[in-house]
Chains A and B, each alone.
Chain A
Amino acid sequence: MNIGVRSNLVALGCGARLWYPVHEAMVTLTGSQTVRWIKPRWVPVAKSKMFRIPERKPLPLEEEVELRCLYNNYYMAMRAIRRHLCEERLRVSDTSELAIKAEEEQAEHDQLMEHNSQENLRVAALREARIKKEFEADLARVTASKEKLAKDAEKAEEEALRIINETQEFVKTFIKREDFEKAIETALANPVDYNFAIDQQGNIFRGRSTRPEDVAEEDKEKLLFAVQS
């Protein structure tokens, strides 16, 4: 027994005479110890079992006879089968049966190859058609996008021109430096009152201090959209 393994030894229950090594993996450190109680190879037969001969259970006589018969038949059949298989193997390997088979196989192979090439051609035609279709679709898409881009550019140019024209129109209303004093004087002379009031009938009264009595009936300004009450 190896002395170095002693630290892992666990006593067996038979009077502490025998010591069995326990594999390290089997000793868990979580408290509950698991031990694999397998008798090692070097431990001899127990003294109490040393000269014990296990009894053979006798078969019933008729069963024994039957079994012997069965075994005889079985071995005979096996011999016959073995011989038959051997003969079959020799027959198949020696005669030209295999060659014939090979020829047939070659013919089948050729046929299959022919079929394969036909299939390849068919698939190639389909593929070409598909690629052509895809190319045309691409071309159409590119032309459409080009047209759209041109249209967009034209629209943008028109918009820009419109903005320029409008701005030029607007520039004409600007007050010039020589007219500056005059414009100030005009503005001071004509004050504009933006205040107004609305009555329940939808009449508008312009001005901060206008009174409803001062406005004539025919001069009254109406709201464009009367609020529904």
Chain B
Amino acid sequence: MPFPAAGGARVPLRTAKCIRFARHGCANRPFYHIVVMDKKSPRQGHVIEQLGTWDPLVNAHGEKLCSINLERTTYWISKGALISEGCSMLLGLAGLLPIHPRVYLLAWRNRRAAAAQKVQEKEDAAQVEN
């Protein structure tokens, strides 16, 4: 009998716990639970506790929805749970933790790509005029 997706797995003593995503979507439709699991358990393994949800696809109103139980998240962080990179980026954007450096890196790259595209468009326009 598997444990429910919302948690209930045994909390082992003196093992690394990790706050990370457990994928609950289907093909081409990702949906994640933010969960606490044993560090070494597989992605779809037994969940100790669910801390929230994360829907990475934009909905009809152009929003990416995310819900986090801040109380339990702070509890688990204080208990020393590791945080996966994606989760720490998300928590940083949510305002619980400092902004993750990867977010800065992504922002730089996006800005650089946007600038390059702008220059390209300008050149194309000049060519069309000539």
Contact = CB atoms under 8 A, between A and B. Distances in A.
Contact of A82 (B77, B100, B105): B77
Contacts of B62: none
Given A89-B75, A89-B78, A81 B97 contact: yes
B104 A78 contact: no
B101 A74 contact: yes
Interface in B65-93: 74-75, 77-80, 88
Nearest to A63: B108
A89 B99 CA distance: 23
Contacts of A74: 98-101
Contacts of B88: 78
B97 A78 contact: yes
A85 B98 contact: no
Contacts of A73: 98
A139 interface: no
Nearest to A73: B98
A74 to B, nearest CB: 6
B74 A85 contact: yes
Interface string A50-73: 000000000000010001001101
Interface residues of A, number: 14
Contacts of B75: 85, 89
B101 A67 contact: yes
A67 B105 CA distance: 8
Interface string A23-48: 00000000000000000000000000
Contacts of A88: 78
B110 to A, nearest CB: 14
Given A70-B101, A77-B98, A82 B108 contact: no
Contacts of B100: 74
B104 A70 contact: yes
Nearest to A89: B78
A67 B108 CA distance: 11
Name the residue among B79, B80, B101, B105 with the largest chain A CB count within 10 angstroms. Answer: B101
Interface string B23-62: 0000000000000000000000000000000000000000
Given A63-B108, A89-B75, A82 B80 contact: yes
Interface of A: 63, 67, 70-71, 73-74, 77-78, 81-82, 85-86, 88-89
27 contacts: A63-B108, A67-B101, A67-B105, A70-B101, A70-B104, A71-B101, A73-B98, A74-B98, A74-B99, A74-B100, A74-B101, A77-B97, A77-B98, A78-B97, A81-B97, A82-B77, A82-B78, A85-B74, A85-B75, A85-B77, A85-B78, A86-B79, A86-B80, A88-B78, A89-B75, A89-B78, A89-B79
What are the nearest 5 A-B pairs in CB distance? A85-B78, A70-B101, A86-B78, A77-B98, A89-B78
